[in-house]
Structure 1
Amino acid sequence: MSLTMETTTTWVPTCEVADLEPGWGEVALLGRTQVALLRLDEEEVYAVDHHDPRTGAPVMARGIVGSRGDRPTIASPLHKEVYDLGTGECFTDSALALRTYRTRIVGGMIEVELER
């Protein structure tokens, strides 16, 4: 007999879009999960794990927001690895990846999708 664990997702309200300054990160504590929220413009908000993939330090909200072509990025403030905000792919070290979370804006509120 095999047991299958079902994963469910929940949209968690975090803060108003207007609470975030474009181009800067802020941290949201969602249950036990620390998420770095990054607002690029009025309708473009990304959420990634706040912990640096190389060191585990909780610093990614203080990362440097930029882009590689049309792909928005964040660079770790510690070792400057550059990650794709949409996929978590590391451009500078293929052995690393940054966890990403889906976001949506509902009535001006940013919601982050978490697995439960």
Structure 2
Amino acid sequence: MQRYELDAWLGDDHGLTEEQLSDLLWQADEIELAYPDPDDEDERTAALTVAYRIISGEEGVVEELARARAQAKAAEIRALAGLKRAAIIQVSGIGTESEAGFARRANVDRMAVRSWLGKRGKH
């Protein structure tokens, strides 16, 4: 990342010193190396935002991220439990949906659906 790109991303009221800007620019370069794929834009932005927040001295960033991760994990667990039950009902229970069709709708691998139905090892 070039300095002018970082300046544009930060805007005028960033409140960073020159040393902090240099640190953030270094972090931006490291982030680009860590997430080189054009599809990684969300990850790059999230990482750069966290770098800015920490370098600027914001407190509680790590704890906030830990809470967000725990909430996301809990949401994933609930969603998977629901999808498993839906597969049991709609594929092998009262429904007539195919494993492949359900997998497409649920955005999972067909083998995951098969494992939920007890047709394959645990998934």
TM-score in terms of structure 1 length: 0.22
Greater per-residue strand proportion: 1
Higher relative contact order (CA 8 A, sep 6+): 1
Greater per-residue helix proportion: 2
